Copies of this chain bind each other. A is one copy, B any other.
Amino acid sequence: MPNPIGFSSHDHAGCIRGSVAVVEAECAARGVRLTPVRRRVLEILLQDHRALGAYEVLDRLREEGLGSQPPVAYRALDFLTRNGFVHRIERLNAFVACTDPGHDHAPAFLICRLCDHVAEAQTDAAAGRLGQTASQTGFEIERTVLEAEGVCPNCRGEASV
């Protein structure tokens, strides 16, 4: 998959089907279960390339009778993030579907503060300047969070600050 999906139009229905299929295959390969709730949460997140809060996800589940209490949503989100199918956006306390499930990667995000859309990119932050500082001091990096906030190309066109 090329790089920064999220701010440009594309075959969205196909994009959803494709991702679900990949995740299904990955789950089978890893011997973990993509249960109905988990699958539905993934689909909900795939609908938008937007970050949704856990309670937004929960609201949708409720409408569909798939569970109505917070732990239902949090557990599904936890499963999906543990397996790399969904990423958590720390800056927003929210979640987005991974645009490239199946490959291990250190994700980075471009977050539009106007429309809340999120694009996923790749990072090698741990290899750069921060990585040098870390190795100099003996700090062992296990995970990096890299999130850039700003204005996306679509919103830049539309005047408003």
Chain A interface (Cβ < 8 Å from any Cβ of B) = 3-4, 7-8, 90-91, 108, 110, 112-113, 119, 121-126, 128-130, 133-134, 136-153, 156
Task: Give A138 to B112 CA distance when docked, in angstroms.
Answer: 12
Interchain Cβ contacts under 8 Å between A and B, 20 examples: A7-B138, A8-B137, A90-B91, A91-B145, A108-B129, A112-B139, A119-B133, A119-B137, A119-B139, A122-B129, A123-B129, A125-B125, A125-B146, A138-B152, A139-B150, A141-B150, A142-B149, A142-B150, A143-B150, A145-B146
Task: Tell me the nearest residue of chain B to A157, going by C-beta.
Answer: B138
With A126-B148, A149-B145 as given contacts, are A4 and B140 in contact (CB-CB < 8 Å)?
Answer: no
Q: Chain A at the B interface: mostly helix, strand, loop or mixed? A: mixed
Given A129-B121, A146-B125, A150-B134, A110 and B141 contact (CB-CB distance below 8 Å): yes
How near does chain B come to A6, taking the closest CB pair, in angstroms? 9
Residues of B within 8 A of A137 (CB): 4, 7-8, 110, 119, 152-153
Interface residue from B122, B130, B153 paired with A121 (Cβ < 8 Å): B130
- Are A148 and B121 in contact, with the CB atoms below 8 A? no
A90 touches B147 (CB 8 A): yes
A156 CB, nearest partner CB in chain B, Å: 6
- Cα A126 to Cα B128 in complex, Å, equals 12
Cα-based distance from A142 to B110 in the complex (angstroms): 10
Are the C-beta atoms of B138 and A153 separated by less than 8 Å? yes
